[in-house]
Structure 1
């Protein structure tokens, strides 16, 4: 009798963790993608300049880059479930604060609080998948990646209708309504028990600085940054480019919606494929070719089958799902995975922020989108090169240990007489 009860209990526990992971993924992009459709109303409601509006759009990248570094130390000190529950509760509180904010500084404070929850979720989910589902990494990464894309798509599509239905200051409802699903997603984590066999004394985090000794970690951070750069160029600039090319605002928005919809199922399909070593580089080549085809198509013929160009870019954006899978594959332990996820996403988002900013500067200086396409296509080349290195079968734990051992041996050898 006890032999059958234990596996049943274990299955229920894994189901609870899997549900919590997917619900967390569902909330990781709602706070980001609900802003764009009501940005004009937000600017008017807060009475801010276009420069401060630009700050609003760049805050998520800044927060993801900076706050995510707190993930591994928190996970080492507290139970995983409690850290994620706290992150989601912080997100819910931040969403409410920025929805009711009067002064701009309070809106910024609410945004930072909301993005803090998102940043912790970003960096901790890969290590939790590694800890709880070591044999199902591709499946679980695909599940929460799909939930992330779906949550962002729903937030993006529904923000304007919610604002319109709510009447005056409806943009506040469009931003604040996402506090409820974040609050609900925190509840399963509170019921998750510690992983059997884990203890606070055996879960010392890997020092983040040590990953600078790992070529694979550096390559993964660059790969993540260049793929995120592509995504933010697409989200931030393609709709306006299509409008400036002669399409109306509704059609441009619809085409960006096509891009978002195509991404959702790909986030479910790609991770289970990306965990197979023989498929990683062929997938990388396909995704890079789709990026090139999509960008060149938009550049040369923006009004000819633009849905095809946006769909090709969506296929290229599958590099996001691929890099999430690689983070789990390139570390041996959950602690190393958490450190790797933090470094890859933290420095990756710093790198990613330069692309959209440079595209805007070049557009303002030249009055032409040629600079945007140059940034995008150069980024594809860099993405392919760094992805090629990241797809080598290596473990960052081994590289760090080997470099540390070499550093210890070299002084010993140098100190020998003669």
Structure 2
């Protein structure tokens, strides 16, 4: 199940690496296994685009609206974190926990998605996910204390987790001949929702009276809108077992498939390097998403401007998520890209140390570039195996390991801020984590495949 979950989660968060890898000039492009099955004409029992054209249009629209809802619960909280902390009497450690909860929920609840999809159909589960997001976001402003706030947040994140995993399943079921374009469509919508929530939350809160409760709760309306198309889609007869597959079937004759079948992934140094690299880049992303606005605000930047800067940081992923995988797929060693992204992160942290307000826009931009280590990590997962079975195993291992590694980072940043009363100590931790990310990324980027036991 973890293999299915992790591969689906790869595709759901950024599918461009798998499609872009098809341009690799090496004899056996690893991503071929990921793209060949959906693109092939459907056979008996395979997923096929069922239903009239209007239904396919509704599915496409539903995917976009759903993707817009997969990050506002996280990125919309950062700009208002100070108000939430005051309103709920929340200390820095608990506030840091809020930025660590997404990783935990993605690891825990995302694993339930394939099993639920096999029983109920993917569209029905996505519908349930949208309902959970709407309820969680609606209940969060009503919380009278930290525990209730965390519980409501976890409910919303559970809906995000299962929907996140099942988006590529929906694509493969209804659009098997347009996997690349449709996954690109919802990936762009996901990035837009991330950046948009960061930019709009504070102005929207001010326009609605200035209460953080109203500002955060307003995002429940967008989730409620997403419920409508999925309620219609889930009633269709095509939402059954064929679309519940979370990964294409193994191709027995594919090179490396036999070696990958008996592979012990925990024996591979490359797999461990990728898992740690994935976790460190995820930790850096969640630290940025949760704490960057507060760093700017403490330096004298207004709340609305801090939100817009976070939106700029998150928005950098829209164009770069298309460029980086193509570039990485043409390189035998992705180490130079890892190094370049890491240097951008270190420059951003140095700027936040010495001139957080004066160069705020510059630091937001370079940190946005650094955050694009995520699509690079997904690309390397596809390139470090010759076979579909190997990619599934590597993806499951790297993501499950990575999510666990990413949990403490944001929590430690909040704790260190409370202890020191400033941001210098947290920035030192962030820089140390970035150096570790660069080191493990250089190892993971070497031209090796796990089937060779390396």
Superposition TM-score tier, normalisation by shorter sequence: 0.7 to 0.9
Equivalent residue for 1:157, pick from 199, 208, 225: 199
The match for 1:71 is 113
The match for 2:343 is 289
- Once the two structures are superposed, what CA deviation does each residue of 1:346-371 show, in whole Å capped at 9, x if it has no partner? 43233222222223333333345332
Bigger helix share: 1
The match for 2:414 is 360
Provide the C-alpha distance between the structure 2 equivalents of 1:247 and 1:238, rounded to a whole number of angstroms: 11
Asked whether the 8 Å contact 2:310–2:364 carries over to 1, the reply is yes
Equivalent residue for 1:255, pick from 289, 297, 309: 309
Q: CA deviation at 1:329?
A: 5.3
The higher-RCO structure (CA 8 Å, 6+ apart) is: 2
Which secondary structure state, in structure 2, belongs to the residue aligned with residue 177 of structure 1?
A: helix
Provide the C-alpha distance between the structure 2 equivalents of 1:250 and 1:159, rounded to a whole number of angstroms: 8
* Aligned-pair Cα RMSD in Å: 4.4
Equivalent residue for 1:386, pick from 437, 440, 446: 440
Q: CA deviation at 1:379?
A: 1.8
Inter-CA distance 247–336: structure 2 relative to 1 (3 Å threshold): same
Provide the C-alpha distance between the structure 2 equivalents of 1:254 and 1:294, rounded to a whole number of angstroms: 17
- Once the two structures are superposed, what CA deviation does each residue of 1:200-248 show, in whole Å capped at 9, x if it has no partner? 9x979x99x9654554443333222111221222233333333444545
Which secondary structure state, in structure 1, belongs to the residue aligned with residue 435 of structure 2?
A: helix
Which secondary structure state, in structure 1, belongs to the residue aligned with residue 218 of structure 2?
A: helix
The match for 2:78 is 36
- The answer to whether 1:91 aligns with 2:133 is yes
The match for 1:3 is none
Q: CA deviation at 1:150?
A: 0.8
Count of residue correspondences: 392
- The answer to whether 1:182 aligns with 2:236 is no
Inter-CA distance 286–302: structure 2 relative to 1 (3 Å threshold): same
The match for 2:280 is 226
More moved, 279-288 vs 95-104: 95-104
Q: What's the TM-score, normalizing by structure 1?
A: 0.73
Equivalent residue for 1:120, pick from 162, 178, 191: 162
- The answer to whether 1:319 aligns with 2:363 is no
The match for 2:16 is none
Inter-CA distance 216–19: structure 2 relative to 1 (3 Å threshold): farther
More moved, 294-303 vs 71-80: 71-80
Provide the C-alpha distance between the structure 1 equivalents of 2:402 and 2:223, rounded to a whole number of angstroms: 27
Provide the C-alpha distance between the structure 1 equivalents of 2:293 and 2:406, rounded to a whole number of angstroms: 19
The match for 1:111 is 153
More moved, 6-15 vs 120-129: 6-15
More moved, 310-319 vs 111-120: 111-120
The match for 2:295 is 241
Inter-CA distance 393–305: structure 2 relative to 1 (3 Å threshold): same
Provide the C-alpha distance between the structure 2 equivalents of 1:57 and 1:149, rounded to a whole number of angstroms: 18
The match for 2:30 is none
Equivalent residue for 1:266, pick from 320, 329, 346: 320
Structure label with greater radius of gyration: 1
The match for 1:406 is none
Which secondary structure state, in structure 2, belongs to the residue aligned with residue 302 of structure 1?
A: coil
Provide the C-alpha distance between the structure 2 equivalents of 1:139 and 1:154, rounded to a whole number of angstroms: 22
Provide the C-alpha distance between the structure 2 equivalents of 1:67 and 1:299, rounded to a whole number of angstroms: 37
Inter-CA distance 41–18: structure 2 relative to 1 (3 Å threshold): same
The match for 1:173 is 217
Asked whether the 8 Å contact 1:227–1:317 carries over to 2, the reply is yes
More moved, 276-285 vs 128-137: 128-137
Inter-CA distance 91–337: structure 2 relative to 1 (3 Å threshold): farther
Q: CA deviation at 1:311?
A: 0.8
Inter-CA distance 86–335: structure 2 relative to 1 (3 Å threshold): farther
Asked whether the 8 Å contact 2:96–2:415 carries over to 1, the reply is no
